[in-house]
Chain A
């Protein structure tokens, strides 16, 4: 079984639209949305949720007023300033470290598991999909990403499907690190802008650090052909595969508004040809 993770560094370069388009080209595949913080793939996939599970990612401290003697030790120990003068814990500030609970001389602090999201196994018109929803302002996105990927793998094994196509998060931090570990390759979707190139370089360094193969493609290439060539040159210098260019086309937006991917919207368009060529290279270089 192989897993391809689509990431970008910079947000809004077209990761999710591209994953949705690949879904029309790939066979025997499980879709996995690992951007649990701002998950969007379901807006095109319109998944039929089969199973729903709570995600408990950590603990939060709660001070029991009736037992608290206001000795102030918890406030001195808390490095997140999460406990106010009235000995109320701010759940947003609380890191879930449990230090206050451990040392409270009155045993006045509860430390229950916190349900901070949910995850789903669904059916879509392209095959099964595993996705999730992290609660707003919650932590532990990395843990939820790891869980969603593990479940996608289990599902692929059970159903004897050979490919997991994973939509990753922007950035280079916790959720992205959790998205890429153990994948066969990452496809970095960038754009021909100073920001796109800057962020692509950082995410390629991240893949390199974790010894995961990276390949690159550039979206909206014709907005700045000079910068597009810089992307190609960078890929050449780094010895990573450059898989192709996709032209700027409002079709991506028009298709999204209808809840469809670009192939469902207009399979004969120029962007579809470009995406087909990139997918062929993914097949040749990574999946075969």
Chain B
């Protein structure tokens, strides 16, 4: 089962929920941190990393001795990532989306592919928990291919928890697509509600069941709860603002370790997710 933890708005507590859930629910669990622009789960899980891999995406490399400057590569490219100017052909590899069109269209076979580094993937463990994250190379713009790579580590038969990036555009969709359940973490404020509505829109496009966690549930107003009721989205957990939780978070501590009474609540949360995903609720 794949559970994706998303939010729309940033800083609502995705990583807190994903990490505490992952360490609470027993064996055969994986945590995939798909927020590759700003991965944070490892700061709380503190895994022992066993494996690091550099991930690349294919981009064109032109053999100028074969190139006839016909310009077909520039014509097919939708991303202005390769152009013929005067007597030379210029690939702009950072703009390339790796579609392979230029290589295929080249009539003289002057284009091969080489790799552009997207970032790294790290694999590790914390006791029984399997942990994988991706870290986007600084100045790399495209996160979805690296997110897809992190997701490729998802194992059949395991409980896979995904810590998704904020927002509602391509990186988030890449982190939610194919999940069995999306847990949306929000806060009861106008920003929280607005971005939650966008996130719910994205989840509905994908047709995945979802539920809410309301963090800092006593700071703000009741509009998120009203929205949830109106849209029939179950509220799965509420976490009140507690300075002790905020301080523990600031130091990189898990709530369930600092306050063991929370472990049962995260186990309960998991059971309810499972019931909904299995169509029992």
Contact = CB atoms under 8 A, between A and B. Distances in A.
A127 interface: no
Contacts of B198: 38, 136
A224 interface: yes
B101 A98 contact: yes
Interface residues of B, number: 57
B258 to A, nearest CB: 14
Nearest to B139: A209
Interface stretch (A24-32, A253-261, A262-270): A253-261
Contact of B247 (A77, A79, A95, A224): A224
Contact of A142 (B12, B141, B166, B191): B141
Contacts of A137: 168-170, 173, 201-202, 205-206
B138 interface: yes
Listed residue (B43, B98, B99, B202) with the most chain A CB atoms within 10 angstroms of its CB:
B99
B37 interface: yes
B38 interface: yes
B11 A11 contact: yes
A195 B177 CA distance: 26
A1 interface: no
Interface stretch (A151-159, A166-174, A235-243, A279-287): A166-174
B138 A209 contact: yes
A194 B250 contact: yes
Interface residues of A, number: 59
Contacts of B171: 173
A43 B194 contact: yes
B220 interface: yes
A99 B99 contact: yes
Interface in A1-56: 9-13, 16, 37-38, 40, 43
A281 to B, nearest CB: 24
Q: Is the interface of B mostly helix, strand, loop or mixed?
A: loop
Nearest to B190: A43
Contacts of A59: 78
A192 B168 contact: no
B148 to A, nearest CB: 10
Contacts of A194: 40, 43-44, 250-252
Interface of B: 8-12, 15, 37-38, 40, 43-44, 76, 78-79, 97-101, 104-105, 136, 138-143, 165-171, 173, 177, 189-191, 194-195, 198, 201-202, 205-206, 219-221, 243, 246-247, 249-252
Interface of A: 9-13, 16, 37-38, 40, 43, 58-59, 77, 79, 92, 95-99, 102-103, 134, 136-139, 141-142, 169-177, 191-196, 198-199, 202, 205-206, 209-210, 223-224, 227, 250, 253, 256-257, 259
The 7 closest A-B pairs by CB, nearest first: A11-B10, A12-B11, A97-B99, A171-B37, A224-B250, A194-B252, A193-B250
